[in-house]
Chains A and B, each alone.
Chain A
Amino acid sequence: MSDTLVPAGGKTGRPKHGKPRRGTRRAKAPKDASLWGDAWYDLRRRPLFVGASFLITVLVVMAVFPSLFTSVNPFDARSCELADARLGMSEAHWFGTDNLGCDIYARTVHGARNSIVVGLATTVVTALVGGLLGLFAGFRGGALDTLLSRITEIFFAIPSILGALLILAVFRTGNVWTVMLALAVLTWPMTYRIMRAAVITAKNQDYVLAARALGASAWRIMFRHILPNAIASVIVVATINLGYFIAAEAGLSFLGVGLRSPDISWGLMISDARERFLEAPWALLFPALFLSLTVLAFIMLGDAVRDALDPKLR
């Protein structure tokens, strides 16, 4: 009931949009556009967003159906021929072969899955944990807020790569889920802080006061009125962080505590190719190229989404 009486609340509330943008583009946008509709309208016209989405689509398809890109199964030891070790780029091996004579192209394609899974899973977990805690702490304030904020300060003080290295040493086994857990444990406070700040800003807006005056319950105010207005900044940071988590996974695997053979990871491939780097640079450069492109795609996406959601930055 409160929804019909509070037109400024919920999804249609756009407290950040002060003045209309210049130019004629604005006139073409749907009149009653919500923050999301408006952002989507804006995004589709950005080359940065289109480029990033295209790259991410290709990578996700590669992660889900690697066999669409290569017929070689790199998990099958028979696909490697030791006599063909460290061959250069050729018709048969597009990216050359590695120290064990395995096809680098096939391994690189199959490496996409682990990178994307670690990145996505860590992002989802940190966004859920940090986001929900931030929402409660920002909304309730008081002792809960003080306690949680002190706890996050502790996590901020611990360097995340070294901390993740220690946690993974405790687990002894490195796989997608332990790497995800190690990264998530150390990075959720980032999302917490951003969500908390956004909630504190949102909760003093007039539409929240109006909803409260109409007798809306605390849960309704939190999830129907505050969350939709506070979540934009979390989505932006989550997208950018996704790229960093992928880079962190590669770094940890490179150091030998992340994914381990026979798992395929770009970081692991870089580590394996390192000894013979001068002799066979392609074995290192191709996984490195894919890793960089993946991180670039997610950071570009985050950049574009931020520009669309936060008109103040223009």
Chain B
Amino acid sequence: MRPALLALLALLSLALLAAAPARATTSIDAVARDLAREVGAPFEGRRALLLEVDARAPALAAPLATALEAALSAAGYAVTPWHGGGDAEGRARASGQDWLLRVRAGLVPGLPSPREAGLGRGLVPGQRDLAAVGELIPAWSSFFLQRRPDARAIPPRVVQARTAADPETFLLAREAPAPGAPFASVRTLVRLPGRVLALAIGEAGEPGRLAIVAVTPDAVLVLSPTGERLAERSAELGALRPVRDPFATVAVGDFGGGRIALFRAGAARGEVLALRGRALERAGDLDAAPLCAGEAGLLFGELEPGTGVLRDKLGRLVDAAATPRSRRTLYGAACAPRGGPVAHAVLGTDLRVELLGPDLRPVAAPAPLASGSGFALADLDGDGTVELVASSPDPSQPERIRVLAPLSGAAPVLETPPVAGAILAGAAGDLTGDGVDDALLAAVAPDGGHTDLLLVTTDPREVR
């Protein structure tokens, strides 16, 4: 081969490499790089820097210190990590460091991007940012301040950076539970008027921003993870065939024109909705009942005509020709948000819960499982296997929430005192932003006048 051709190929390769997308950086890398940029280049050639990083979640501190060390080194600093606690500034002075950079880091409510901020948007519901705030403290002795050895040579300054947190950061930022704390806590997230028929949690609009979708007899509501109302659409009730007990299914996932799909009992078809800003717009129709969605995929079903219960017919696709698995009827289905060996569960009108794998084949449970109509599958403790968050299967008894480890067959890991109302719907997703699933249950007041959405979480900030 001619040398000119070889040179051309080499140049082409370089051009392709340059055009290739850079490897996506993690939130930790990004915030470390931004903070190092804020610190700037070494002042007057003073490079020696003692780095102290602290975070409310201990697991976050070390990776962030590593990332900061790398970013500051790239900026020209000679970084010495400090893990000793105590008087870090005294230590910096004693060891001849030029600077002490003391950093605090953690997750904070998300801010809009600069473009969105220009549009006047405030906090972004559903988004969590990794934030780092540092104090850059001069540690060298000033010639002019020899009579006051503790005085700082120049004024210190504050540096800070933030970026949207990625799932890995959520995991690291998770605090350890307090000693003696219960497995999970339950609190009312928000109270909604009327009866909530169905719940779903997912990225209903922009990617990365979780939302709650609640269906009532009259409307579809989109709420932030903290319960603020983001969008609402009134139901088109005229076309419904009468059903004695109102019911609906809803799921958040990829449904083509929109990410919210629902099916009301009595309706001829389901509907797909798209969340555009604060508007919830109809984006299409659906010929099946969307039951739920998780990492294992979407799950579709079919209502028994004229009723508020489902046929035992499950599928990944809209398939009118599919045959039911059995003659029994179902109250509903749940999807594990992050998949796993137990990816789905269905609840029969006989109140038996059946676990299903990602392939929709039954997963044997060591003991029979039962629940009332509202239930959810959620990996509450982040161990990779879901918990069953169940309501009471005995209508003559007061309502309670039970958290069961369905594959261990042991006693409930949590059973609450009686809760007000009847739990009729449930869903799961990471609403607290701690990196693991939470469950959300709809407890309808006895007179049907309002519904409390109950948050079941193991987030240590909630569990005390």
Question: Are A and B subunits of one complex?
Answer: no
